[in-house]
Structure 1
């Protein structure tokens, strides 16, 4: 048999990038000739103020913020109160150089900044550090509405007065300040939206109000939002890729019977669909009171509640290691099969509630020439599963196969899954119910902080002012979980319960329609209400899952001093200083194991606790030199740090030994050091004409004590009373734990071009553009001090670091009407470094969004948008990292030319359309 192989070619076309940048430079050069004549009329150091509205107003504020910022930074600004350029905060931020986003079910969730993982970047709202309901430190931006914000700022080069905790950059979310407004603002908007796969029409309403009273000394700004969104995601998941022994195979290249060989294949093949019904509501309230010229009080309150109801229907196929056809070049089975394949049909109904509250209180006064600012911050995040019901049907051994090749011998995006029966999936008359789950989980993240900052003007050479201050915070992360797995054998009459008895039709008839030609057409799914009402009518009060229950307490004190300077008649300005931080962390949890039911099914749990402390000295230097009235040159150097995540420092190890053939363990390391980096930045910025910007920046980060997850064999003490059979399962267990690596480097460059095309003739003068490109090259150490498997991870990049990131916006705006087309590209990046013998990479992704606004009257406007216009999917792929048994390591997929056809995950969410109206009072 002869096959033809066409590997995917998903590399970003640099020709597209070259064309975009070349066009930008041509426009800049063309316009600069005309602008040079007009510049003769400029008054030195005077910035012309032009009244602009809509997205053009947002772009103008973005340009001015970058120009006058004391640090290397970028921002996104609201077009008006209650109207950010994008509805999702993460999706708005991806328009900034150096920022990439991760999506969950089609919506932006977390962000990377200059190649740094989301959990290593600090997020503040009105100066209060935000907590989160997840297991790490990454803030999920989908929990709140972007329209409650006035601006999003990303500080890339810190000063001593900035809070520590960010390795890539600090994100400042700011709501409106009422005393800064020139007039009263009030608006309300109503919107309908639809995800084309879910085929549900949803509703959203938002309102905002701001005004000043008491002779403009008291101000109030408030916003509220209610938002519904139903999303459907179709997916394939080929999980846990590893080198398997004893695979019966025939050579794809020669047809020769190879006998028993080693093959790099997934553990299982999953396919499924899930529906998410999201309801998000909340708002913000800011109060400002100016007592007199020297005294000011304020409070900032924000609240959000996100409820996600998820229905998941999934089928799983495993144990395909018989009669395979092996691609000897890649060591992977193109065709995998078994006469006794295993697997399951799984379904889940889960409700996730995420509640966040952030409160900031501040007072500013002047005491003996010192400007004194005192702040109190309170942040609360609470995430829970009020409902988490799962059903597992299986215990079937059937003839089945997975084929990566189509009928023409070409590699497919996902394998074709086939069962040798009349159903095309596991026989529902044989798939019996054997597990019912009804468990819950709760994560609470509380942070309280207090700070004081002092600043005064001085005359000491070039130093014109001095700042100093201190901050103290306490943070507690509590995680609890119950064991809600109840084995199910037979009903009250002693009969097995088969899927065919309690099933219903697959909920959709267009699974991956128009996306994949070889997708399953569906399978029978259980009737949740019937199963739970019949076989578990009183629910299941499971005991506490102590192994996955823990508390992490962190206390930190920081003090700083900063000097602000000005030299050469104000052409050179900046700051230098140092921040000292002392951190103490303590953790309490449990360690234990769950053993197989065949050997008694017992378990053991023992309490564990640990503590650690560390100090960091963080110097910083920032300089901005005015070359001329249009050009700036910036330089910065700083040492930065980020603390380990709660998951990384959780105490104890959870040993999963219920399957004697696949015993694994996972745990944290409470003695981890924080991640530190020494960074350098340089930026050249040209602000030409009234709206033009061309900037080129370079950055370098030398990262120490990098934290990564490793897997190595460990043996655990066997508690008294444990059977010999179970004790044997605690020897040489593959254990996943966090460790400090030797570090790494991140080097990159950013290019940004922005301009209104007012110099072009006719209707072209109403256009404008913003184009950003970021190049990032990184190398991380995913090895411990003993350099275990060092040769396999040589040259690996940092997680979620794409070499190429592009975002480009083309907009047209006139008389209140506007149209905006936004393009985003992100190249391949490392998703997981260590997964058994493999690494998982995220494939490159392009997206195109369209939005439009039509001013119907002076107060009423119609707006509409379409996200993911080209219906792009999300894909991850696996490579073999650990070389063993004659199969070589494939190394860094970004540089080694490794085949990228082994899909590990593939998902499609479709397009999302929105139509709404806004009325301004």
Structure 2
């Protein structure tokens, strides 16, 4: 890595000659400080409490941030924190199964979002950096905040922003003892459209907080259970770059889609979450805390129906052409070739376990010095099991003679397509099972971190305090790939793996419902019984059992397994500012964070020709074509940050922030495993000096030599807090200059030896020994490209409590935000059939969130709307494919009534208008996904004591 060269931003901030540290004082301390300055802190009850608490948190925070209070999270039946966070300015999410999943912040997706729990880094159940928010029950989270501008005391890692989740601190509870129980039932109005789908779900949670020993000991505990079935009916058009032909004799070639899928999806999510916290504060000088969080989340899903593949390989008649693309026609085959109509039955299971815990001790001298020590631990295991069957029509199953077939279809833009098939795909005597497969991917993450922070109060007219500290963490990621397969998707099955006959015990006829009801019925195939049928066949040949393994026969399972280690030592110093400039009070902080990272990965490198070590796969087969390697790098980053808050009046303030930020690559992108191949190079050909060399090449599409994402960012905002009523108006501008992105890339030539890769000097092939050239081959890897660019935008937020209206209306309130984001970053895709520039994935130019609410005595009701304009992201089909997601508007409604005895009744409807997910490939006539999730109804009660 090249030596550090300070940017202009770094020099500007460091030249101020100030430094600093740590987390800002908690809300309670900030509110007290505000009261000292005669600034009123608004206190209200009911749903309005959450709205005003959010404003207070934003108002008194020392960075640019957005917050959702516990009252809001605790009152909603959201399946995860992500649903609630999408109401914040600049925060969006992609709906998966109808629910918000990973977050995008200011147009940047989850790879750029850092997240913590109680200020501590969390590992994930997968290979990404951003935590899976659906792993965290909203009932167990006390507060969630999005930090859009960093400060030196915050852990590095968020180019887009940092999401901080907090669990309850029992000593801060307003009550001596409190107990809360939530019971909710759920219903999906589209469940009857999907065979075997469950209509009903449920949620149950308990929580307790208590203070003992004259309020010096606090205990909190909570449990949250979720059973949530989900359903969707979906049509998926596949990429349009599968081939081009002149279909209508016009002299120009038209783009042909790879095919399409028509599927029913369903499944169930089961989650059990636990949290506990103990806080002992024996006197004013000592504070001792410990907390633990555990979540077990099992998701079992199925997708079944039709998959039509390789339209270009069939006979095309009566093609329908629109803007250079084939969007319909008849495609047929005599039962040969790669065009086929499959009946697919896929089962996807994700089993996730997450455990997080910490121990914290804080001491202060009662005057100026505070010292805090923290030890934290986070571990997550994710097991992803993908299994599926493929069945095709046959005239003679035993002889593996396929039946002629045809499909006549017509795409309908962003509406469901129509299609008819020549064969009967519900006939058990015609449908043969030709392929069964499983592709598990197990991942384990573990992190231990140690932190020591100091804060010293000052008495001068510029700095209110100085903070500094150090943090050391060790993270280890392990990945295991495996595979089990029977048969082939295309071509003739091997003689020892013939097409299998189905039986009535393992199949049933399924009808489509809803918008897909016009499609013909098909056979549902029980996956476990299909595996049993495969094992019976394998036993006849002395093979088996059918069990996923990492094996040399599918060498990618061995190469893509491996470990990544990341050791990070970070230190920071931060000065907290409090001074006057031309009679304007200025607060904020200025600091720098210095981060030293040691990243390395262990995996398998293919060298070939028996030149490696003796390594056994899961089946006990020995190979000598591979060696164990360890590759990595060390680098140091300097991350300065500045936050200034100009208090123009008691109710008006201007914020300015500037910082250099970083986000590390997805951790599974740092794996070192790679395969290889050699090609011949002949020099002095035709002369006595002619000599043949072997040139070493390698593939992997991961790299332990990747650098983080870097960006310089600037924020400017104006905040107006109303004095005559309760509310605020905020306008914010932001600008991020991202230095580079990570892409798969082929480097040629690449000097493998110089970069520390182990390459043999010679190889022997068919008895002939060749010298190896190590610096001319190609390396298919992941790189930091130099094509960065800016992201810039505008955010507007308005909150108003209409307490100046007549009595019957003074419980009316409104909160809303609008975000505009733009970027010069462009990528290129050809999935539409021609090269097309696409914007930064995850970026919607326009995002609008509104909530209209009304509170009267114990009655609360609200209507929320989330709108986002079109954006690019991955649609999940046979393979993940980039597509445009059409603009969408999602409406949610909630009503509740609280009785004086502590009981509150609740009704909520999510996706009130049954908004579908719709995607397309560059042009709207090139249909991508059309996915209907249905409305979800929740009914239940809450009891608080």
- Same fold (TM > 0.5): yes
Q: Is the 8 A contact 1:219 1:288 kept in 2?
A: yes
Q: CA deviation at 1:174?
A: 0.5
Q: In the alignment, is residue 673 of structure 1 matched against residue 700 of structure 2?
A: no
Q: In the alignment, is residue 393 of structure 1 matched against residue 414 of structure 2?
A: no
The answer for the alignment partner of 2:15 in structure 1 is none
Q: CA deviation at 1:210?
A: 0.4
The aligned length equals 815
- Choose from 639, 662, 665 the match for 1:641: 662
Q: Is the 8 A contact 2:743 2:783 kept in 1?
A: yes
Q: In the alignment, is residue 306 of structure 1 matched against residue 341 of structure 2?
A: no
The answer for the alignment partner of 1:504 in structure 2 is 507
The answer for the alignment partner of 1:218 in structure 2 is 217
- Choose from 913, 917, 920 the match for 2:941: 917
- Choose from 125, 142, 151 the match for 1:159: 151
Cα distance 1:121–1:129, how it changes in 2: closer, same or farther (>3 A)?
same
Q: CA deviation at 1:453?
A: 0.9
- Choose from 825, 846, 851 the match for 2:889: 846
Partner Cα distance (1:274, 1:63) in 2 = 41
Q: In the alignment, is residue 73 of structure 1 matched against residue 65 of structure 2?
A: yes
Cα distance 1:328–1:609, how it changes in 2: closer, same or farther (>3 A)?
farther
Which structure 2 segments of 5+ residues have no match?
A: 1-33, 192-197, 334-338, 394-401, 537-543, 551-556, 609-622, 678-697, 753-758, 768-775
The answer for the alignment partner of 1:37 in structure 2 is none
- Choose from 613, 635, 641 the match for 2:634: 613
Q: In the alignment, is residue 858 of structure 1 matched against residue 893 of structure 2?
A: no
Cα distance 1:106–1:862, how it changes in 2: closer, same or farther (>3 A)?
same
The answer for the alignment partner of 2:100 in structure 1 is 108
Q: CA deviation at 1:413?
A: 2.6
Partner Cα distance (1:498, 1:576) in 2 = 72
The answer for the alignment partner of 1:873 in structure 2 is 916
Q: Is the 8 A contact 1:800 1:829 kept in 2?
A: yes
Cα distance 1:499–1:606, how it changes in 2: closer, same or farther (>3 A)?
farther
Q: Deviations over 1:611-644 (max 9, x none)?
A: 1222211111110011111111110110000011
Partner Cα distance (1:837, 1:278) in 2 = 22
Q: Deviations over 1:283-305 (max 9, x none)?
A: 21111010211110101211111
Cα distance 1:914–1:832, how it changes in 2: closer, same or farther (>3 A)?
closer
Q: Deviations over 1:532-582 (max 9, x none)?
A: 334326852333121221211111111111111211267111111111111
Cα distance 1:700–1:539, how it changes in 2: closer, same or farther (>3 A)?
same
Cα distance 1:686–1:846, how it changes in 2: closer, same or farther (>3 A)?
same
Partner Cα distance (1:43, 1:353) in 2 = 49
The answer for the alignment partner of 1:345 in structure 2 is 343
The answer for the alignment partner of 1:201 in structure 2 is 200
Cα distance 1:419–1:907, how it changes in 2: closer, same or farther (>3 A)?
same
The answer for the alignment partner of 1:541 in structure 2 is 547
Partner Cα distance (1:71, 1:167) in 2 = 15
Partner Cα distance (2:607, 2:168) in 1 = 52
Which structure 1 segments of 5+ residues have no match?
A: 1-41, 251-256, 595-601, 657-663, 724-730, 785-790, 880-898
Cα distance 1:62–1:87, how it changes in 2: closer, same or farther (>3 A)?
farther
The answer for the alignment partner of 2:446 in structure 1 is 446
The answer for the alignment partner of 2:526 in structure 1 is 527
Q: CA deviation at 1:792?
A: 5.7
SS in 1 for 2:850: strand
The answer for the alignment partner of 1:740 in structure 2 is 785
Q: Is the 8 A contact 2:817 2:850 kept in 1?
A: yes
SS in 2 for 1:60: helix
Q: CA deviation at 1:276?
A: 1.5
The answer for the alignment partner of 1:774 in structure 2 is 819
The answer for the alignment partner of 2:681 in structure 1 is none
The answer for the alignment partner of 1:803 in structure 2 is 845
Q: In the alignment, is residue 480 of structure 1 matched against residue 480 of structure 2?
A: yes
Partner Cα distance (1:684, 1:437) in 2 = 57
Q: What is the correspondence of 1:550-569 to structure 2 with a 5 Å cutoff? A: 550-568=562-580
Q: CA deviation at 1:151?
A: 0.7
- Choose from 783, 806, 815 the match for 2:857: 815
The answer for the alignment partner of 1:683 in structure 2 is 717
Partner Cα distance (2:57, 2:884) in 1 = 35
Q: CA deviation at 1:482?
A: 1.6
Cα distance 1:706–1:529, how it changes in 2: closer, same or farther (>3 A)?
closer
Cα distance 1:720–1:100, how it changes in 2: closer, same or farther (>3 A)?
farther
Partner Cα distance (1:816, 1:834) in 2 = 44
Q: In the alignment, is residue 282 of structure 1 matched against residue 288 of structure 2?
A: no
Task: Tell me which moved more, 520-529 or 63-72.
Answer: 520-529
Partner Cα distance (2:320, 2:347) in 1 = 39
Partner Cα distance (1:366, 1:57) in 2 = 32
Q: Is the 8 A contact 1:711 1:834 kept in 2?
A: no
Cα distance 1:505–1:170, how it changes in 2: closer, same or farther (>3 A)?
same
Q: Is the 8 A contact 2:120 2:376 kept in 1?
A: yes
Partner Cα distance (1:720, 1:95) in 2 = 64
Q: What is the correspondence of 1:89-488 to structure 2 with a 5 Å cutoff? A: 89-183=81-175, 184-198=177-191, 199-242=198-241, 244-245=243-244, 247=245, 249-250=247-248, 257-258=249-250, 262-321=253-312, 322-323=315-316, 330-340=323-333, 341-366=339-364, 369-385=368-384, 388-394=386-392, 396=402, 398-401=404-407, 403-404=409-410, 411=413, 413-421=415-423, 423=424, 425=425, 429-459=429-459, 461-487=461-487
Cα distance 1:450–1:845, how it changes in 2: closer, same or farther (>3 A)?
same
Partner Cα distance (1:706, 1:497) in 2 = 47
Cα distance 1:613–1:314, how it changes in 2: closer, same or farther (>3 A)?
farther
- Choose from 798, 804, 807 the match for 1:759: 804
Q: Is the 8 A contact 2:828 2:835 kept in 1?
A: no
The alignment's TM-score, normalised by the length of structure 2, stands at 0.80
The answer for the alignment partner of 1:884 in structure 2 is none
Q: CA deviation at 1:756?
A: 0.9
Cα distance 1:324–1:97, how it changes in 2: closer, same or farther (>3 A)?
farther
Q: CA deviation at 1:364?
A: 0.6
Q: CA deviation at 1:831?
A: 1.3
Cα distance 1:501–1:741, how it changes in 2: closer, same or farther (>3 A)?
farther
The answer for the alignment partner of 2:586 in structure 1 is 572
Cα distance 1:359–1:494, how it changes in 2: closer, same or farther (>3 A)?
closer
Aligned-residue CA RMSD in angstroms?
A: 3.6
Q: Deviations over 1:192-212 (max 9, x none)?
A: 111222352222211111011
SS in 1 for 2:53: helix
Partner Cα distance (1:285, 1:919) in 2 = 20
Cα distance 1:337–1:543, how it changes in 2: closer, same or farther (>3 A)?
same
Q: Is the 8 A contact 1:44 1:629 kept in 2?
A: no
